[in-house]
Amino acid sequence: MAVHPILKKRKLEGEYWTLFKELIDDEEKNFSYFRMSRYQFDILLNKIELLISKQDTIFKESLSPKEKLAVCLR
């Protein structure tokens, strides 16, 4: 199974991996970006985490529930 080159660079250049780290430290920017507070994001994540998590395989690393939620909200 081939992986697209864009996906290979996801952790280095992807929006979640570059921007999310900055949003964590700035509540105002976090709210503007996700339309919810960091606290609300964490509560929502806690409620759905088990439903949206997948296991990594030999072939690919799955997206974390936090990353899935961030992408979905955006």
- So what's the pLDDT on residue 17? 87
- So what's the pLDDT on residue 9? 83
pLDDT tens digit at each of 74 positions of the chain? 577 888 788 888 888 888 888 888 899 999 999 999 999 999 999 999 999 999 988 888 888 999 999 999 98
Of 63, 72, 70, nearest to 42 (Cα)?
Answer: 70
Of 71, 72, 56, nearest to 19 (Cα)?
Answer: 71
Report the alpha-carbon angle 9-46-10, nearest 5. Answer: 5
- So what's the pLDDT on residue 10? 83
Domain boundaries, the chain: 5-73
- So what's the pLDDT on residue 1? 59
Report the alpha-carbon angle 62-30-22, nearest 5. Answer: 70
